Amino acid sequence: MTGSGEFEAWFRLLETPKLGPTHARQLLAAFGSPEAVLRAPPSSLRGLVTPALAAAIAGPAPEGFANRLRRCEGWLSGGAMRRFITLGDADYPPLLLQTADPPALLFAQGAVHRLAARSVAIVGTRHPTTQGEENARAFAAALSREGLVVVSGLARGIDAAAHEGALLGEGGTVAVLGAGLDDPYPSQNARLAARIVDQGGAVISEYAPGTPPLKENFPRRNRIIAGLSLGTLVVEAALRSGSLITARLATEAGREVFAIPGSIHSPQSKGCHALIRQGAKLVEVATDILEELRLADPAVAVPGMEGDEADDADSVDDAATGPVLRALGHDPATLDALQARTGWPTAELAAGLLELELQGKVARLPGGLYQRRAAA
């Protein structure tokens, strides 16, 4: 399909200034194809769009269209795993098609069959705690090992951790970008995007190659993340967060919303707590999500410890550092706070914390804080 008249017709129609996806879908439903829309006289379009839009569709291509078309066709011809998917394609994601505002055209690289698989979105803040990153990675790995595709937005923080975790399982992952696929954003995750494709996942965008990462693109990108998925898990999010937009869009699409609770002192947990108050499902392990979606398998691998294993946690702590872990709990704490809780001398406490860091049980955070890792 690369370089075909079909792509040019789709791209020309969707490049019409001020057309918008709703009018585009109405025109396609009425005329059957973008070629038919573009051939139609303005008089036959005016019952569906304004006279100005009808004239723009029937008139010459907008300024710069030829250059944008060449860039798209150049990208599409750059590899066998690059393609475009339209509303009429058999490969168009069925769950996304059921939403109120499905994109008329998607650019895709990788294994596009992943777009039709059972999926769960995992989203969250770009500035997570160490615990939040570990939770995202662990939940994604557990869900992927059960064959679910993990969908996220390739952003820094929780998104990146979710993609990385999903690559550990069979389900794999799909990244939805808010810019063109020819220059993945953010640039520090370009290698992660390549790994996703190389390991059997897919990277997609409704934005043409050459589209920069404009601020207004990302809220619209979020409707695709939510629309591809049976449910959306928010790991960490502030009260004003793009992740909460994704959760709202999931709810509007009739999908489930899940949230992981966190510390009452952490700004990154406040968005999750707000979602839970609004009716999101509180989850602690991956099985909670599978059961809610009626996908539970008794053998599912879940992050963290459960039941008797959790009750016995203190019994396996090293005698020299167990009191420090118990004093730390699961919220970030300063050295002074830990000293007050344990009564240990500063040098002894610092040595214990260093030992726990080397064992991978404690993480040192900015601001002189320490936090217990998920598996500790």
pLDDT band at 2 (very low <50, low <70, confident <90, very high): very low
> pTM value?
0.82
Mean pLDDT of all residues in 73-97: 93
Structure confidence by residue, pLDDT tens digits, 283-328: 999 999 999 998 865 444 344 334 443 343 333 345 556 788 888 8
| CATH class as words, domain 110-292 | alpha beta
CB 369 within 8 A of CB 327: no
Q: Which of 27-41, 196-210, 283-297, 322-336 shows the lowest per-residue confidence on average (mean pLDDT)?
A: 322-336
Q: What angle do CA 182, 183, 188 make, to 5 degrees?
A: 145
pLDDT at 164 over 50: yes
Report domain extents, the chain. 1-74, 110-292, 307-372
State yes or no: cis peptide before 21, omega within 30 of 0: no
Cβ–Cβ < 8 Å for 15, 56: no
Q: Which of 129, 298, 170, 141 is nearest to 233 (CA)?
A: 141
State the SS3 of 48-86. CCCHHHHHHHHCCCCCCHHHHHHHHHHHHCCCCCEEEEE
User: Mean pLDDT score of the chain, rounded to an integer?
Assistant: 89
Tell me, yes or no, if the two domains 110-292 and 307-372 fold the same way.
no
Average pLDDT over every residue of 330-354:
85
pLDDT digits (tens, 9 = 90+) for 225-255: 999 999 999 999 999 899 999 999 999 999 9
**Domain formed by 307-372, architecture:** Orthogonal Bundle (1.10)
Tokens 């707000």: give the residue. Answer: 274
The sheet with strand 119-123 has its strands ordered as 82-86, 105-110, 202-205, 173-176, 149-152, 119-123, 231-234, 256-259, 281-282
Confidence at residue 310, expressed as pLDDT on a 0 to 100 scale: 38
Where do we find the tokens 């020819």?
182
